[in-house]
Amino acid sequence: MALTPSVPEARRWLCQAKSDLKAAHNDIRRCCPNWVLFKVHQALEKALVAAVLCCGEAFAIHCLMKPGGLKGMAQWLEAKEPELQGLVLDVQLLCDCSVDGKATQYPNYHTFPVIPCEAFPSVDEEDILKKAQKVLGTLKNLVDRK
């Protein structure tokens, strides 16, 4: 299913991204860093889709499954919108902090017997949320200018 590019559709996706980030914030210090990381991933993914949509590009949901994921969308956006310089680096920093849609949820991404809820004990959840908020703010500014 392809999403029709428009600013209202972009705002709808951005609104859900903010909600996902708020949900991540609610999980801080609740012994479930994998859920914080997963919800941040979901927020970033939706905010990046919002930015793509407001740039006038149709977006097929299956594109999220292709290699490159968040970083691929960030690279496309940074090339299309020069004022987003630094977006790829910001997204890469979050990915390097274990913001991931799979490893945070599935045991097969970890060595046996580790499961996702045990795999991220030293994650600085507050720092990750600050970095994610920065990216969402950057993408919101882009959507607001369109």
Confidence of residue 65 (pLDDT cuts 50, 70, 90): very low
Assess whether pLDDT exceeds 80 at residue 102: yes
Q: What is the pLDDT of residue 61?
A: 55
The pLDDT tens digits of the residues spanning 29-64 come to 988 999 999 999 999 999 999 998 888 766 655 455
> CA neighbours within 13 Å on the CB side: how many for 35?
11
How does 30-67 read in b/e, with b if 16+ C-beta sit within 10 Å? eebbbbbbbbbbbbbbbbbbbbbbbbeeebeeebbeee
Domain boundaries, the chain: 7-141
Say how many Å lie between the first and final Cα of the chain, rounded: 24
- In CATH, the number for domain 7-141 is 1.20.120.330
Inter-axis angle of helices 125-145 and 7-26, nearest 10: 170
Q: Which of 4-8, 15-19, 117-121 has the lowest mean pLDDT?
A: 4-8
Q: Is the pLDDT of residue 125 over 50?
A: yes
Q: Is the N-terminal amide bond of 82 cis, ω within 30° of 0?
A: no
Spatial CA neighbour of 129 closest among 20, 15, 10, 30:
20
Where would I find the H helices in 27-58? 33-54
Chain mean pLDDT for the chain:
91
The residue-averaged pLDDT of 102-125 equals: 96
If we measure between CA atoms, which residue out of 67, 35, 63 comes closest to residue 49? 63
pTM: 0.92
pLDDT (mean) for 78-105: 95
107 is written with which tokens? Answer: 């045991």
